[in-house]
Amino acid sequence: MKVRVFYHDKCFDGACSAALFSRFYRERIREDADFVFSGLLHRAGALFDESHFDGDENAIVDFKYSSSPKITWWFDHHESAFLSPADAAHFERDESNRKFYDPDFKSCTSFIAMIGQQRFGFDPAPVADLVHWTDVIDGALYPDAKTAVEMQAPAMKLTMVIESAPDQFVPNLIPLLASKPLGAILEEPFVAPLLPPLLRRHEISMEILKQRTECIDGTIFFDVTDQDLEGYNKFVPYYLHPESIYSVGLSKSSFRVKVSVGSNPWAPEEPVVNLAKICERYGGGGHARVGAISFNVNQHAAAIKASQEIVNELRAAVRSGKS
């Protein structure tokens, strides 16, 4: 029995969602399941390739909805969960009791834990630490920017590794997330050597962002598309500019130019602009407090234009007192 699990790649909550789903499925649905894990990334153009939906069951966790009849399970908590009104309508009509959505949850992992427990009798107690940390990390529930940037907890170190991971690293990691303490996973032979260079890279990225970030009217802007920095710690701009309310950043990888739009969890004023709605206008999405837009690598100029428009919109909102 092959179960293919698609998850939000390069994301701690995405990996943990896949881990928790597989544990839940094995305990409450079918014990002899053979899991195959496949990462999905937000990119310009089609997000799904139907030929990859080749399991006896196919699940998507922590990622956008697909109306393909081959998808038998779906869990998500992003405000921008549907690619089209038709997809949203398709979900609303679903009566399988296998597809679940709630944008009020801090993490998809905690959402799966709750649904698994309430609907299927799953016991999430053995993975309580994993669920706790996905809420902290995906919900930015750190006490302050210093804690978020110093990354002392094992979960935060694992997040850094996952966000910069080589291919096949996360699929190998997912089974451990479902069964081992986070601190013990850091000591695994395929994990431990990755940490020291990433911690050094983190320090270098802080220096670069110190030079590149500019905060005007409560809104930070920075462009690091000339640097190998797509996996930077997203809290560094707020650590550097505690007076900020919003941030807009441009970064680049091999397959996309990314516009990241966020709000300061420790802002001096409450952010009220819905960032998911702004990102949706450009084909992106996310949550009310954090979102992103992906452009093709050859659409650099369009990404710059979008970032500038969003920066101007947010700065205007702050100036008018509608931050």
Instruction: Please state whether the predicted TM-score (pTM) of the whole model is above 0.75.
Output: yes
Query: What is the pLDDT of the chain when averaged over all its residues?
Result: 95
Mean pLDDT of 178-203: 96
Whether residue 194 lies inside any domain: the answer is no
Answer whether residue 272 shows pLDDT above 80. Answer: yes
Q: At residue 208, what are phi and psi to the nearest 5 degrees?
A: -65, -45
pLDDT at residue number 323:
62
> Of 144, 164, 186, at which residue does a domain stop?
186
Tell me, yes or no, whether 278 lies in a domain.
Answer: yes
State phi, psi for 105 to the nearest 5 degrees.
-80, 140
Say if residue 140 is in the same domain as residue 83: yes
What pLDDT shows up at residue 321?
Answer: 80
Residue 79: the pLDDT is: 92
Same structural domain for residues 105 and 164?
yes
Query: Which amino acid makes up residue 80?
Result: S
Q: Which amino acid is at 27?
A: E
Instruction: Say how far residue 48 (Cα) sits from the centre of its chain.
Output: 17
Structure-block tokens of residue 14: 């995405």
The larger pLDDT score, comparing residue 167 to residue 151, is at 151
Question: In the predicted model, what is the mean pLDDT of residues 268-287?
Answer: 94
In contact, 91 and 65? CB cutoff 8 Å: yes
Share of the chain above pLDDT 90, in %: 91
For the stretch 123-143, pLDDT in tens is 999 999 999 999 999 999 999
Tell which of 118, 152, 186 closes a domain. Answer: 186
Residues 56 and 205 in one domain: no
The confidence score (pLDDT) of residue 43 equals 77
Tokens coding 166:
């080589």
3-state secondary structure labels for all residues of 117-159: HHHHCCCCHHHHHHHHHHHHHHCCCCCCHHHHHHCCCHHHHHH
pLDDT at 30 over 90: yes
Q: What percent of the chain has pLDDT over 70?
A: 98
Tell me the C-alpha distance between 73 and 96, whole Å.
9
Query: Do 174 and 281 belong to one domain?
Result: no
Given this model, what pLDDT does residue 110 score?
Answer: 98
Which token pair is 262? 């966020």
Range of the domain at 175: 2-186
- CA distance linking residue 157 with residue 199, whole number of Å: 9
- Bin 10: left if φ > 0, else alpha if -120 < ψ < 50, else beta: left
Region 218-222 average pLDDT: 98
- Residue 248 confidence (pLDDT) above 80: yes
Answer whether residue 44 shows pLDDT above 80: no
Please report which confidence band the pLDDT of residue 303 belongs to, taking 50, 70 and 90 as the band edges. very high
What's the pLDDT score for residue 188?
Answer: 97
- 178: its two tokens: 């479902």
Instruction: Please give the tally of structural domains in the chain.
Output: 2
For the segment 47-97, what is each residue's pLDDT rounded down to a tens digit?
A: 899 999 999 999 999 999 999 999 999 999 999 999 999 999 999 999 999
Do 34 and 121 reside in the same domain of the chain? yes
Mean pLDDT to the nearest integer, 272-293:
95
Domain identity same for 30 and 121: yes
- Tell me the C-alpha distance between 230 and 225, whole Å: 8
Do 182 and 205 fall within a single domain? no
**Residue 218 shares a structural domain with residue 179:** no
Please state the rounded mean pLDDT for residues 99-111.
97
- Cα→Cα distances 66→2, 59, 87, Å: 19, 10, 7
> pLDDT value at position 322?
67
